């Protein structure tokens, strides 16, 4: 039985800058690697990532070392297993039915997309991060959650504060000070929305939780809202920006999308395979086990890298390339097993059916701003930190 090797040279800063070359090296040399800087054993191969995510009896989500609980001031469903996890998940599912997506959220999200795209200033460079992707995700999420009393700026700040706190594997005090401030603001917002939804029920997450036949505790409703805010803005924001960048930098692929040869939904799927918005998640080994010949003792904390799995050479040829023409194979950006992303169908509708096609329809000659190079950041969560373009109708 092999012993998991240790790499003391890798830092959080290095992985935040660009983890992909290091993941490629890990896949070649050691698919399990302990990195003391993050206090975890990183798992990089697609087959192992899928196996771990789909076996919660052996690999628990309840990681006591994760900074998520500290950042959220709550134990969310992301860190629960079994019936405990499913109870919180079921409380939100009525908001995500196929009928609600079709009859409520599709027209709502379409209206938001059109309004926000149409208001873009075409007189000079526009940062699609701050001017479009983030606010569109925020406004759609406000409707979905029943938090329309929150501004776009509120939701964007709260989401980033929670994400930065949850990804604070170095346990620095600064990110938690910011997330504490966000939590206090969210508490006020949630209480006001609670009163409104009790008086006037609708199909939002807040309302269906409150009006369930057997409602969960208010504290659990709050934790559900927080986890939705944490992932419900940065994921669609970064997915949309990644897709836009991929399309703008590949003219032949762009033409195929514009003329309808390939659907915009395919572009979205390829974008989140290429750069997964949520890059990794933790799992705790519940009993001694063996992964790829490595002895993994009970209590080991694994960091399962979806980012690496989605570029695994055993699954994807030239995974480092954005390529909408590649052979269709399942990626792991939305997760696997019981924690598969609840917002998958909503995100696909918002970005693949509305945001991407309408943006390129309105601005068919849009190009990247040559004076502002695109920068990518993030280890736990990753995407462009800005996307400056010239909007040419």
Helix (H, G, I), strand (E, B), or coil: what is residue 284?
A: strand
pLDDT of residue 13: 93
Backbone CA torsion sign across 326, 328, 332, 334: positive
For residues 27-40, give the mean pLDDT.
96
pLDDT of residue 275: 98
3-state helix, strand, coil in the chain (%, to 5): 55, 10, 35
pLDDT of residue 383: 96
In this predicted structure, the answer to whether residue 197 has a pLDDT above a threshold of 90 is yes
Residue 66 — very low, low, confident or very high, per pLDDT cuts 50/70/90? confident
pLDDT of residue 271: 98
Count the neighbouring beta carbons within 10 Å of the beta carbon of residue 102: 11
| CA triple 317-318-320, angle to 5 deg | 135
Compute CA distances 16 → 124, 378, 381, 388, 389, whole Å.
31, 4, 9, 21, 24
Q: Write the burial class of residue 242 (CB in 10 Å: 0-12 exposed, 13-18 middle, 19+ buried).
A: buried
For residues 88-107, give the mean pLDDT.
96
* Mean pLDDT over each residue of the chain, to the nearest integer: 96
pLDDT tens track for 268-322: 999 999 999 999 999 999 999 999 999 999 999 999 999 999 999 999 999 999 9
Domain ranges of the chain: 12-116+124-390
Report the C-alpha dihedral over residues 144, 145, 147, 148, rounded to 10 degrees. 0
The residue among 14, 49, 67, 24 whose CA lies nearest residue 311 is 24
Helix (H, G, I), strand (E, B), or coil: what is residue 286?
A: coil
Distance of alpha carbon 332 from its chain centroid, rounded? 11
In this predicted structure, the answer to whether residue 91 has a pLDDT above a threshold of 90 is yes
Count the neighbouring beta carbons within 10 Å of the beta carbon of residue 259: 8
| CA triple 335-54-162, angle to 5 deg | 40
Q: Answer whether 116's CB lies under 8 Å from 89's CB.
A: no
In this predicted structure, the answer to whether residue 121 has a pLDDT above a threshold of 90 is yes
The residue among 201, 240, 232 whose CA lies nearest residue 344 is 232
Q: Which numeric CATH code is attached to 12-116+124-390?
A: 1.10.630.10
Distance of alpha carbon 101 from its chain centroid, rounded? 19
Count the neighbouring beta carbons within 10 Å of the beta carbon of residue 37: 16
pLDDT of residue 96: 96
Q: Alpha-carbon distance 126 to 28, whole Å? A: 40
pLDDT of residue 64: 82
In this predicted structure, the answer to whether residue 63 has a pLDDT above a threshold of 90 is no
Q: Alpha-carbon distance 242 to 267, whole Å? A: 10
Residue 206 — very low, low, confident or very high, per pLDDT cuts 50/70/90? very high
pLDDT of residue 169: 81
Question: What's the alpha-carbon Rg for the chain, to the nearest Å?
Answer: 21
Q: Tokens at residue 268, please? A: 């979205």
In this predicted structure, the answer to whether residue 143 has a pLDDT above a threshold of 80 is yes
Least confident range from 117-121, 183-187, 217-221, 340-344: namely 340-344
């Amino acid at each position: 039985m092999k012993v998991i090797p240790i790499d003391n040279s890798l830092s959080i800063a290095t992985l935040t800058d660009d983890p992909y070359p290091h993941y490629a090296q890990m896949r070649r040399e050691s698919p399990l690697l302990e990195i003391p800087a993050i206090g975890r054993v990183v798992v990089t191969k697609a087959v192992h990532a899928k196996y771990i995510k789909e076996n919660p009896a052996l690999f628990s989500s309840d990681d006591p070392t994760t900074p998520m609980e500290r950042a959220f001031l709550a134990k969310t469903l992301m860190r629960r297993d079994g019936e405990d996890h499913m109870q919180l998940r079921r409380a939100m599912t009525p908001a995500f039915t196929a009928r609600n997506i079709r009859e409520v959220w599709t027209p709502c999200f379409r209206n938001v997309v059109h309004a926000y795209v149409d208001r873009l200033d075409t007189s000079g460079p526009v940062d699609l991060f701050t001017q479009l992707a983030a606010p569109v995700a925020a406004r759609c999420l406000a409707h979905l959650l029943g938090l329309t009393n929150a501004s776009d700026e509120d939701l964007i700040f709260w989401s980033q504060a929670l994400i930065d706190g949850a990804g604070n594997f170095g346990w620095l005090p600064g990110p938690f000070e910011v997330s504490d401030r966000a939590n206090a603001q969210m508490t006020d917002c949630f209480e006001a929305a609670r009163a409104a939804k009790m008086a006037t029920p609708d199909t939002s997450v807040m309302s269906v939780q409150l009006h369930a036949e057997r409602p969960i505790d208010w504290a659990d409703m709050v934790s559900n809202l927080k986890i939705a805010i944490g992932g419900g803005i940065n994921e669609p924001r970064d997915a949309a920006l990644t897709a836009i960048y991929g399309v703008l930098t590949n003219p032949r692929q762009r033409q195929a999308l514009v003329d309808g040869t390939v659907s915009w939904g395919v572009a979205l799927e390829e974008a989140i395979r290429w750069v997964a918005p949520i890059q990794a998640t933790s799992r705790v080994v519940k009993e001694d086990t063996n992964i790829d010949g490595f002895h993994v003792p009970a209590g080991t904390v694994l960091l399962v890298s979806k980012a690496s799995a989605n570029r695994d050479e055993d699954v994807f040829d030239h995974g480092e390339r954005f390529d909408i023409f590649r052979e269709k194979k399942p990626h792991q950006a939305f997760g696997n097993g019981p924690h598969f992303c609840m917002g998958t169908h909503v995100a696909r509708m918002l970005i693949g059916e509305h945001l991407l096609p309408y943006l390129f329809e309105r601005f068919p000659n849009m190009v990247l701003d040559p004076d502002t190079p695109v920068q990518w950041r993030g280890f736990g969560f990753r995407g462009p930190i800005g996307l400056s373009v010239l909007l040419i109708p």
